[in-house]
A and B are shown apart, each in its own frame.
Chain A
Amino acid sequence: MPSIRELAKRESRFVSGHRLCAGCGAGIVMRLVLLAIDKPVIASCSTGCVEVASTIFPYSSWKVPWIHSAFENSASTISGIEAAYNVFKREGKIEKEIVFVGFGGDGGTHDIGFQALSGAAERGHNVLYICYNNQAYMNTGIQRSGATPKYAHTTTSPVGKVIPGKIQWQKNLVEIMVAHGIPYAATSIPGRWNDLVNKVEKAIKINGFKYIEVLSPCRLGWPHEPELTMEISRLAVETCLWPLYEVFEGKYKLTYKPKEKKPISEWFKLQGRFRHLLLPQNTQLLEEIQKEIDRRWENLLRKCEEI
């Protein structure tokens, strides 16, 4: 894996001047992913924060060929480009090695773009798909998505007398992608740059469909202090809510194990959307979540053969 100084020698391919919020996690994710790839890249992006903030007409923050066509089809767009590339290669019209990367937010991946993603995975295109998961439709005004955690406040699952935030659990899309039988699936965070760079680097060497889901803290929608973006993503790992693991050829491996598992309230107290869970009348809800996180964590440890 390249050191931070070696990465600094590479050209930045996601440049300044984009209009993501100050302290946006997705900006860090885009930079890190492109820095980790030392080959030419073609990228597609579904509608979402990154798309609207990085390609506001007539500006683009991307120094790689980049395409947006719709909300739901980042995965199928990049599949089509990869298929065209294969034809050109077969006909001897193109020589160079190109890495194909599809980007999507959690809305464009878990919900709206799911059938495109599933199809691309099933067809086995040689594509790396990166989901920057900020756990709601942040770009349109913080509406709940399939990736929003239980009891989180969003504008379409408002905390009040009727409901205590979103009443369903979030999807575990990494497991769904593993079930597709793809060669590589992993989770990551921006807060551990070496973890993300390592996984991207590993993924692009594998032939087939690769999926990496990166937790991307949203200072506007979660909301939290902008300087805490990296810390809050690390805390999600320390509380075992967002374990760092990879599944290579069906084999689970924990890539980071917290020394001491922190209670989930540590993660909640930094975010406005979970503030109600820390009130004394809601201890039952907090316990319910902690219990489920413990169960999922143990389940994962068993899969990784750690226990």
Chain B
Amino acid sequence: MEKKMTWKELPIGDILKGGTSLSFKTGNWRSKKPVHLPEKCINCFICWISCPDDAIIVDAEKGKWVSFNYDYCKGCGICAYECPKKAIEMKEEVEK
């Protein structure tokens, strides 16, 4: 999943550009996967604020929950545990 930089692309002098870890996908760490149950969700954003990996996408303008970002979600399950309405379920990640 990781896109490796060539030596020509590597930053000089150990000065890194901001936010570049976005090109390192941590989603393959996951063994369990959060699944959203929209009928139970009240768009409280508790899952969003509790996520250590910033892997939940919300639409702040509309006040709506959008999706999980499975590229980065490590499957810790904090969102499912914290959800006051039990609107997130953890399911086994299965190979396709």
Contacts and interface: CB of A to CB of B under 8 A. Distances in A.
Interface of A: 4-9, 12, 14-28, 31-32, 35, 54-66, 190, 193, 219, 225-231
B49 A7 contact: yes
* Contact size range, B: 35 or more
Contacts of B55: 16
B22 A16 contact: yes
B16 A19 contact: no
Contacts, number: 129
Residue among A9, A17, A28, A54 with max Cβ neighbours from chain B (10 Å)? A17
A57 B54 CA distance: 20
B60 A8 contact: yes
Interface in B48-70: 48-55, 58, 60-61, 63, 69
A57 B23 CA distance: 12
A230 B46 CA distance: 11
Contacts of B89: none
B81 A58 contact: no
Interface of B: 5, 9-11, 14, 16-26, 29-30, 44-46, 48-55, 58, 60-61, 63, 69, 71-72, 74-78, 80-82, 90
Contacts of A225: 77
A4 B71 contact: no
A237 to B, nearest CB: 16
B16 A193 contact: no
B16 A17 contact: no
A229 B72 contact: no
B45 A62 contact: no
Would you call the interface of chain B mostly helix, strand, loop, or mixed?
loop
User: Which of B29, B52, B72, B77 is the most central at the interface, judged by chain A CB atoms within 10 Å of its CB?
Assistant: B52
Contact of A227 (B18, B25, B48, B80): B80
B50 A17 contact: no
Across chains A and B, which 10 residue pairs bring their CB atoms closest together, nearest first? A27-B52, A23-B76, A17-B21, A227-B77, A22-B74, A16-B72, A8-B60, A22-B76, A60-B16, A226-B76
A32 B54 CA distance: 11
A23 B52 contact: yes
A63 B19 contact: yes
B13 to A, nearest CB: 11
Given A5-B45, A59-B20, 12 more contacts: A4-B46, A7-B49, A8-B45, A17-B26, A18-B26, A18-B53, A22-B74, A24-B52, A24-B76, A56-B24, A58-B16, A59-B21
12 contacts: A14-B54, A17-B24, A17-B72, A28-B51, A57-B16, A58-B10, A59-B20, A62-B18, A62-B19, A63-B19, A193-B49, A227-B78
A58 B5 contact: yes
